[in-house]
Structure 1
Amino acid sequence: MNNIEFKHLILTAKYFTKYEPIIDTKTDDIYAYEALSKFEIDNNLISTEDIFRHLHHNNKLFFELEKRNKQLQFESFTENKKLFLNFDADIFVSCEQQSYWELFLNNKKDDIVVEITENGSDDETSANIMRNFSSWLNNKNIETALDDFGQDGSMFSFYMMNGSKYIKIDKSFLRQIELNYNYMHYLKGILTTIRLNGQKSIIEGIETQRDYDLVKELGCDYMQGYFFEELMIIK
């Protein structure tokens, strides 16, 4: 499939958004939602992550996809809660892209949190792009969340961590604790650091009652995962 055909598909494909709840661990109330997207292409459902793998070296086409994607995510959301939107720093690199997203985000900054996601590369160029993106968001007073903290292959950066209001702890921590309970103490230390820094913690990957009970014991701020599937919204 060439780029022209692929562009036509992603701009005309049937689009679905799943709004996954982020739960307050103290009250079990819904604090916010995260928008997660899928597209139906040739009768197959694929995620934006799958599309990005195809667009990794096509910045302009990825930008066109995300313009449509984020607009629909925001317009379809009708809850009176904060909305977490995933953004890849690679679509903020040109002046055109920065101008577009500045206008888009400034009009919505009281209602959204930008989740900074990695593109899977840990080279210095990608690291600089992410740092510049984080700095740009902070200068615009737009709230941010550092996504997938602790995920295999992810980049650890004190700069990125310090610049985010929310730290989203990857589900790999819970899976590792299942194998070796000693990692519980490591996670407690991370959560303590987040709290002392005046930030908020979100543990992802809550899938079972055991996960739920464990996170309650840990005392983080928020939790998220398929355990709360009945509270999800699909549009």
Structure 2
Amino acid sequence: MNNIEFKYLILNAKYFTKYEPIIEVCNDEIFAYEALSKFEIDNNLISTEDIFRHLHHNNKLFFELEKRNKQLQFENFNVDKKLFLNFDADIFVSSEQQSYWELFLNDKKDNIVVEITENGSDDETSANIMRDFSSWLSSKNIDTALDDFGQDGSMFSFYMMNGSKYIKIDKSFLRQIEANRNYLHYLKGVLKTIKLNGQKSVIEGVETKRDYELVKELGCDYMQGYYFDEYLIVK
């Protein structure tokens, strides 16, 4: 995607949010929702990952876009449940950005969980930015979730893991178990560690009845995925 194509996409794309339910494993009730950004142009969905990857090279535009997105995601959410909001630490690097997000998050912290996402880079600068963002959220008593734990290419940090109230297990765990049942023991070990640390686990990628039945057997706290009905608001 070149700069001209990207500018056209940002100016012309229709933005909407999909609110995906996070389900309590013990009783199948909805615990919370995660707000997922979606972009559509010419009636075709555009990969959110591609857009955000491009935006990492334009911090100012990334910040402005996410200001709009997060405001809409929160304002249009009319359900009495917690809302998980994805945040990339790269939009929290300047004093202006930090001041804005502090004001935005402070009066909402009882109702939201900040889901810390990685930007796809494993260099030392990115790791430090994520660590600083996690530390700031903790100092403000804002609940956090570590996203995509175990995803291919993601960095592993005990600091990030220990500082999060919720650990979201990447869908790749379930896909690996489909290919090799022995990987089930890895997942059981991760879930046991999360529980012993007093944290909550969320298994992502529950897409089939088989996935659902497996997750129920594992005894994690929450599950999430296309298997469950979506709560959708279009703006």
TM-score range, shorter chain: over 0.9
- Is 1:213 the counterpart of 2:194? The answer is no
User: Which residue in 2 is equivalent to 1:187?
Assistant: 187
State the distance in 1 between where 2:6 and 2:227 align. Answer: 38
Aligned to 1:198: 198
* Unaligned residue ranges in structure 2 (runs of 5+): none
Shift of residue 9, structure 1, vs aligned partner? 5.1
Question: Paired residue for 1:129?
Answer: 129
SS in structure 2 at match of 1:115: strand
Question: TM-score of the superposition, structure 1-length normalised?
Answer: 0.94
| Residue 55 (str. 1) matches residue 49 (str. 2) | no
Deviation of 1:13 (Å):
3.7
Specify the SS of the correspondent of 1:108. coil
How many Å apart are 1:181 and its aligned residue? 1.0
In the other structure, the counterpart of 2:21 is: 21
Find the aligned partners of 1:142 and 1:56 in 2 and give their Cα distance: 25
Q: How far 1:46 moved relative to its partner?
A: 1.7
Tell me what 2:72 maps to. 72
Could you tell me how far 1:43 is from its partner in structure 2?
4.3
State the one-letter code of the partner of 2:62.
Answer: F
Q: Is the 8 A contact 1:39 1:47 kept in 2?
A: yes
Is the 2:86–2:115 Cα contact (8 Å) retained in structure 1? yes
**How many residues were matched structurally?**
233
Deviates more, 1:179-188 or 1:195-204: 179-188
**How much does 1:54 deviate?**
1.9
The yes-or-no answer on 1:222 pairing with 2:218 is no
Supply the AA of the counterpart residue of 2:188: K
CA displacement at 1:14 relative to structure 2: 2.1
SS in 1 for 2:227: helix
Q: Residue 233 of structure 1 aligns with which residue? A: 232
Instruction: Determine the structure 2 residue equivalent to 1:90.
Output: 90
Runs of 4+ in 1 over 3 A off after TM superposition: 1-5, 41-44
Which TM-score applies when normalising by structure 2? Answer: 0.94
| Equivalent position SS for 1:192 | helix
The answer (yes or no) to whether the contact 1:16–1:234 under 8 Å persists in 2 is: yes
Superposed CA deviations along residues 130-157 of structure 1, whole A, max 9, x for unmatched, are 1001001000110000000000000000
Deviation, structure 1 residue 234: 3.3
For residues 156 and 5 of structure 1, the distance between their equivalents in structure 2, rounded to whole angstroms, comes to 31
**Structure 1 residue 40: deviation in Å?**
2.4
CA contact (8 A) 2:82 2:112 kept: yes
**Alpha carbons 2:145, 2:168 under 8 Å: kept:** yes
Identity of aligned residues (%): 83
Take 2:200 and 2:224, find their aligned partners in 1: how far apart are those partners? 13
CA shift, 1:42, in A, is: 4.6
Contact 1:37 1:47 in 2 (8 A): no
Partner of 1:31: 31
The 3-state SS of whatever aligns with 1:141 is coil
Q: Give the aligned residue type for 1:29.
A: E
Whether contact under 8 Å (1:202, 1:221) holds in the other structure is: yes
Tell me if structure 1 keeps the 8 A contact 2:206–2:227.
yes
Q: Structure 1 CA distance, aligned partners of 2:123 and 2:93?
A: 16
| 1:81 equivalent in structure 2 | 81
Cα distance, 1:11 vs structure 2: 5.7
In the TM superposition, residue 57 of structure 1 has moved relative to its aligned partner by: 1.0
Whole-angstrom CA distance in 2 between matches of 1:185 and 1:84: 28
